[in-house]
Structure 1
Amino acid sequence: MTSSLRSPNTSSRYWQDHHARIKAVRSSPVCTIRDADMHNALSSKYSSCRRATSRRALSLTNGASQFVRGSAASPLINHSTSPSFHHGTISSPRRTNVRVQKRTRHSTLHVACQKVVGIDLGTTNSAVATVEGGKPAIVANAEGGRTTPSVVAFTKSGAQLVGHIAKRQAVVNPENTFFSVKRFIGHTIDEVQEESKQLPYTVVSDDKGNVKFKCPAAGKQFSAEEISAQILRKLVDDAAKFFGGEAVTQAVITVPAYFNDSQRQATKDAGRIAGLDVLRMINEPTAASLAYGLGKKGHETILVFDLGGGTFDVSVLEVGDGVFEVLSTSGDTHLGGDDFDQRVVDWMVGDFVAIENVDLKRDRQALQRLTETAEKAKIELSTLTQTNINLPFITATADGPKHIDQTLTRAKFEQLCDDLIERCRIPLEKALRDAKLKLDLSEIDEVIMVGGSTRIPAVQALVKKLTGKEPNLTVNPDEVVALGAAVQAGVLVGDISSIVLLDVTPLSLGLETLGGVMTKLIPRNTTIPHDKEEIFSTAAENQSSVEINVFQGERDFVKDNKLLGNFKLDGIPPAPRGVPQIVVKFEIDANGILSVIASDKGTGARKDIKITGASTLSDDEIDRMVEEAEKNAAQDKVMREAVDTKNHAESMAYQCKKQLEEFKDKITGDTKSRVEAKLQELHEAIDGEDTTMMKEHMESLQKEMMQIGQEVYGHHDASGQGPTGTGGGGTSSSRPSSDDVIDASFTDTTPD
């Protein structure tokens, strides 16, 4: 039976004085000293502030203050007024002990021999950055891009594609191309029913209710963690090439500030599957503030407005002199650029149904084309007042092929998305209220816009209206989060010093108590790392076990909040109700991940759990995926090489055919025949999927194509149109006479 707990009668005075203590830390000169000294000085400042407000004993150990508070003895349980309790319930004790620990983040790791990167694992695009010369810099991917599409695909031959190459083939392979998986990570299938209906690929669940993606080409189902791991692996592999082949095994990964515990743990699991040691997970708005505020000396209060592809966050921070303190954060994990795209898709589908009586959402390829076109239209309307949507042969009926040719104006787009834009208002206003700075909005110095969707003019107008500030558009919204993650990575390995980061937990954490009430032990916007413990007791006679349900959220009843996990503490000796003392301790680490420990003070019986949530992977599943990835690494490399070789071969064949047509009047028949023969051999190798033969025939064809060039230039020389301009095509010198012409060397860019 689900247990019920009784909430202890605790004072909120400590939390009311939270910002006063932090302000005391900020005003102290210790904010400019380094690492461990800074940590101890800040902790000392915290404890001195607490001395002034605490009515109980205070002890200082290992640079971290411990606040122990007692309450007056509670009355005995009144059987006439208390509800009936059954096996597995616990109630409030006669005495409550609370231990609160505050620690600052500081440099403790020194792994200078290893390259550590910062990764922005985004819904639509991802990026990786590193610290070079004390400054963060984006690492370009293998294709030369500064961001990589968060897309993974599997071909019918079993090849795995990631990034741009996966995105390009999505229209012809929609059921095996997975994108926007970040919106599913850490969720159960019941939580993402609406999102799953809008995709061209199939979202299913396993017997535990975990989200899985059905992949017909691979003949299996993938979790969101596995797909995310493939994106991470692509990013670190490209970074390794950037570093000259040096392996990258450690990273700082960003997550939306409003991600709950399950989503954070799932993201960390994705890093583990990718073979990464995730040194730290950092909130995306906080990362953006690190990139923005690095090197700034003055004190500023900034608001970070982060509207990405699938999530929305708002954070208020104080920045200056190397201290980055998050005052509040809020957000919506179901709001992002994908939702704006979907409104355009729905508009196109609705119009098409009205005109042709055909529902394009039933056609996977049509839906993929609509999704890509909607994103393109949204981007164009950020700079244009209208855009043309032209999709020929979108489908076919008995009457023949059908097309879409429409004009979408910015005004119409804003009308379609009006409620989405309005949804941005609520988290923004909540973050401002929670900051508790007694501020009118004029005290915000800068509004930093992060995420590609902040380019939407209506979004910028809303921010300006609510804050009274012109949004700061000087940072690149697609790159600033990765740059901030690199700064945090630099701090952890000692490449960057004199940085103190005080981040917060975005959502309250608590237990289920009598009547399904959510009793919060750790309120939202509590600085992390943090721990707290309270003592409970049994609520039934001779109760031998208790079951504890842990929730996260802001609603008053647990049914409206997120169940993170539950566990049972057994072995409690028979005793009257209210006599056993059960200590429940919550610990949040620097990544925002929760652990819960319960123990019986009388027997020493103890049970602990790292909250993994109902939808994340077990350790055995993660180990299996890691082993599978390592085992298949060589095979994956061969398959990737085969795909790259085939793409290069097809490109060469196309260029060769084009040159034969273009220069048919300038080459001999013999040369043309030889080139056509080699071209045919290459086509046969491509059709046969023979990588070795493709390479051999590409080399042979390359030599024959050089003959085309020689004959074309010889034809120009003979006709007096050669580079020398002599008109005679003399043989006395093969070099041009003009001093302005230089020799050029060419580098073969053929993939290995």
Structure 2
Amino acid sequence: MATIGIDLGTTNSCAAFVEGGRPVIVPNVEGERTTPSVVAFSKDGERLVGTVARRQAAMNPDRTIESVKRHMGGDWWADIDGKLYSPQELSAMILRKLRRDAEAFLDQEVTQAVITVPAYFDDAQRQATKDAGRIAGLDVLRIINEPTAAALAYGLDNGEPQKVMVYDLGGGTFDVSIIEIGDDVIEVLATSGDNHLGGDDFDERVIAYLLDAFQREHGIDVRRDKMALRRVAEAAREAKKELSALESTQVNLPFLAQGPAGPAHLETTLTRAAFNDMTRDLVERTSGPVQTALNDAGIAASELGCVLLVGGSTRIPAVQEHVRRLTGKEPSASINPDECVAMGAALQAATLSGASTGLVKADNSILLLDVTPLSLSVETVGGVATRLVERNTTLPVHYSQVFSTAAAFQTSVEIRVLQGERPLAKDNKAIGTFRLKGIKRAPAGVPQIEVTFDIDANGILTVSAKDLDTGKAQSITIDDSGRMSDDEVERAIRDAEQYAAQDGLRRDFMAARDEAQSLLSEADRALAQVGKQLEKDEKKQIKADAAALRKLVGKKLDALSAADVDELRSAKDRLERSSARARTLVSRD
């Protein structure tokens, strides 16, 4: 069984494996090296993932979901025809396609993977990503930060001692990491970022520009027309890409809307200068995290040996120029920004498939040390966030602290755990509530309760506690609305497996249906052309078999069984036999 590395991206995803000690990108069944992170549902219930989903988006906007990664770990659901899908389930559909494509390419089963996440993902987002992998039928060996994976891929060929900045601007998130490559060690010194800044935001600016231009020319606002809006969004995405190579581009969308004077077309020119002007503040927003990462790492930009650009949005010339101004360095062109994250994940996957514990060696020489991206605190008296684990602490982390009661004769204590950098609890994100029960009644401040925080190499937090007075370990319940429970994950796994089987039936049924429809056309044509040459009973039998087959062809795809496929094929065989002579007569004529 093969083990793969997966870059689960906001806009596109990518998979890789290691062959002969080198990472190799896995092409999908469409022959592409990356797969659009798009999920769609057809009207008859078929699930579409990747390029086929993106192609039909304009005609099916209500059942097409993009950029689901931005909702990971949050309380967001997609409502498709009355059925709710969580971000984990939708991401699992993308992961399942990547897994199947890898199995087709490698001609072997794939059950293990390393999956990447933005360095600034919090505990709930990392856990949600891991749950998505489980639903897709993958044993997720490790969650690794995207900039770290990119540095790992870079370090494979550039292992000389140096400090590297990874500037990762993807479709939905921005991360920057300062990484030191030593003789045998790749160590993350600091990381910072913005989980709500990426290529999608650049697209939104172009979309608004095109909609305003169309409204000025035709007096029509198409913002409420979902189909038109999807066409504009696709055109905006393509225009953005073209402006990375051209100084201007033409946007032409015929028949975008129907106006009083007839069909209205969108025809406009977008220049790179105009694009740079409308997105200037987005580019500038990357400056803060860059400076924070440099400060946390304790180095100046001049000490950097290399700057790596990762993520498709770093192809924007204004972004590249901004990085040059920030760092005084010419960004390296030695790695592919769309593929390097998956390649780094594959290197780690190859190692972990042999041993899934401890710190990671990318090959037999490079040791990888990652960090936690956000500080970990607990809420104490007065709503203060008391810092326990500082951001950019090397993983894994094991930290214990003794707490006590704030009121007399308490039999339980509640501890709110927070992630963030603000001094007040209310300004940070609450990631869980931990309740310790069964404390011996005593005056305030007397009980000694040791709470232990463990952040594993995935950046995922677990908590344990014990009462030092009794020495007994106590259970702690984690309440996190952003997480799926084990039961929910198991149910989603069953649904995904059930769909996989149903998907196979759909493919078999549609193939048989296409053959049946072709046969029905031939039979109808034969009856029309040579019916007078046939015996009465023969004609009657052809008509009866055709009617029976036509009824089966119309069966809905969302309620199929294996028996339905067999019945369709049997009915087709009967019509083939009964109409054989008539079709032969037609071919002779």
TM-score normalised by the chain length of structure 1: 0.67
2:201 to 336, 339, 343: 339
Structure 1 residue identity aligned to 2:80? C
- C-alpha distance in 2 between matches for 1:382 and 1:579: 65
- C-alpha distance in 1 between matches for 2:135 and 2:468: 38
- Counting only pairs closer than 5 Å after superposition, residues 590-601 of structure 1 correspond to structure 2 as 590-601=457-468
- Unmatched 5+ residue regions in structure 2? 355-361, 519-545, 558-564, 577-589
In the superposition, relative to structure 1, how do residues 402 and 250 fare at CA in structure 2: closer, same or farther (>3 Å)?
A: same
Query: How far is the alpha carbon of 1:615 from its aligned partner?
Result: 1.5
Structure 1 residue identity aligned to 2:19? E
- C-alpha distance in 2 between matches for 1:145 and 1:685: 39
Query: How far is the alpha carbon of 1:358 from its aligned partner?
Result: 2.9
- C-alpha distance in 2 between matches for 1:171 and 1:648: 29
1:327 aligns with 2:327: no
In the superposition, relative to structure 1, how do residues 373 and 465 fare at CA in structure 2: closer, same or farther (>3 Å)?
A: same
In the superposition, relative to structure 1, how do residues 396 and 444 fare at CA in structure 2: closer, same or farther (>3 Å)?
A: same
- C-alpha distance in 1 between matches for 2:384 and 2:408: 23
Partner of 1:156: 43
Query: How far is the alpha carbon of 1:577 from its aligned partner?
Result: 1.4
Structure 1 residue identity aligned to 2:208? D
* Contact 2:141 2:353 survives alignment (8 Å): no
Query: How far is the alpha carbon of 1:571 from its aligned partner?
Result: 1.5
Query: How far is the alpha carbon of 1:649 from its aligned partner?
Result: 12
Structure 1 residue identity aligned to 2:68? V
RMSD in angstroms over aligned alpha carbons?
A: 2.7
Partner of 1:503: 370
SS of alignment partner, residue 515 of structure 1:
coil
Partner of 2:79: 214
In the superposition, relative to structure 1, how do residues 610 and 137 fare at CA in structure 2: closer, same or farther (>3 Å)?
A: farther
Query: How far is the alpha carbon of 1:355 from its aligned partner?
Result: 3.6
* Contact 1:251 1:278 survives alignment (8 Å): yes
Partner of 1:200: none
* Contact 1:119 1:254 survives alignment (8 Å): yes
TM-score normalised by the chain length of structure 2: 0.85
Partner of 1:473: 333
In the superposition, relative to structure 1, how do residues 285 and 611 fare at CA in structure 2: closer, same or farther (>3 Å)?
A: farther
* Contact 1:341 1:374 survives alignment (8 Å): yes
Q: How many residues align?
A: 529
Structure 2 residue identity aligned to 1:424? T
* Contact 1:154 1:161 survives alignment (8 Å): yes
In the superposition, relative to structure 1, how do residues 466 and 415 fare at CA in structure 2: closer, same or farther (>3 Å)?
A: same
1:247 to 109, 113, 135: 109
1:458 aligns with 2:318: yes
Query: How far is the alpha carbon of 1:237 from its aligned partner?
Result: 0.5
* 1:506-529 CA distance string (max 9 Å, x none): 000010012211111000000001
1:354 aligns with 2:216: yes
* Contact 1:392 1:403 survives alignment (8 Å): yes
- C-alpha distance in 1 between matches for 2:509 and 2:471: 60
Partner of 1:41: none
- Counting only pairs closer than 5 Å after superposition, residues 187-586 of structure 1 correspond to structure 2 as 187=74, 210-216=75-81, 219-244=82-107, 246-436=108-298, 439-494=299-354, 496-586=363-453
In the superposition, relative to structure 1, how do residues 602 and 128 fare at CA in structure 2: closer, same or farther (>3 Å)?
A: same
Query: How far is the alpha carbon of 1:346 from its aligned partner?
Result: 1.1
* 1:84-121 CA distance string (max 9 Å, x none): xxxxxxxxxxxxxxxxxxxxxxxxxxxxxx31100000
- Counting only pairs closer than 5 Å after superposition, residues 632-647 of structure 1 correspond to structure 2 as 632-640=499-507
Partner of 2:522: none
- C-alpha distance in 2 between matches for 1:155 and 1:247: 28
- C-alpha distance in 1 between matches for 2:552 and 2:31: 26
- Counting only pairs closer than 5 Å after superposition, residues 635-674 of structure 1 correspond to structure 2 as 635-640=502-507
- C-alpha distance in 1 between matches for 2:222 and 2:435: 50
Query: How far is the alpha carbon of 1:553 from its aligned partner?
Result: 0.4
* Contact 1:294 1:322 survives alignment (8 Å): no
In the superposition, relative to structure 1, how do residues 498 and 184 fare at CA in structure 2: closer, same or farther (>3 Å)?
A: same
Query: How far is the alpha carbon of 1:395 from its aligned partner?
Result: 1.5
- C-alpha distance in 2 between matches for 1:643 and 1:270: 29
- C-alpha distance in 2 between matches for 1:610 and 1:409: 55
SS of alignment partner, residue 547 of structure 1:
strand
1:136 aligns with 2:23: yes
* Contact 2:434 2:479 survives alignment (8 Å): no
Q: Quick one: percent identity of the two aligned structures?
A: 55
- Unmatched 5+ residue regions in structure 1? 1-113, 188-209, 653-680, 701-752
Query: How far is the alpha carbon of 1:647 from its aligned partner?
Result: 9.9
* 1:274-329 CA distance string (max 9 Å, x none): 11110001000000001011143420110000000000000000113331100000
SS of alignment partner, residue 549 of structure 1:
strand
1:602 aligns with 2:469: yes
SS of alignment partner, residue 453 of structure 1:
helix
In the superposition, relative to structure 1, how do residues 341 and 646 fare at CA in structure 2: closer, same or farther (>3 Å)?
A: farther
- C-alpha distance in 1 between matches for 2:382 and 2:473: 26
Query: How far is the alpha carbon of 1:599 from its aligned partner?
Result: 2.2
* Contact 1:117 1:130 survives alignment (8 Å): yes
SS of alignment partner, residue 191 of structure 2:
strand
Partner of 1:181: 68
Structure 2 residue identity aligned to 1:288? A
Structure 2 residue identity aligned to 1:162? V
SS of alignment partner, residue 403 of structure 1:
strand
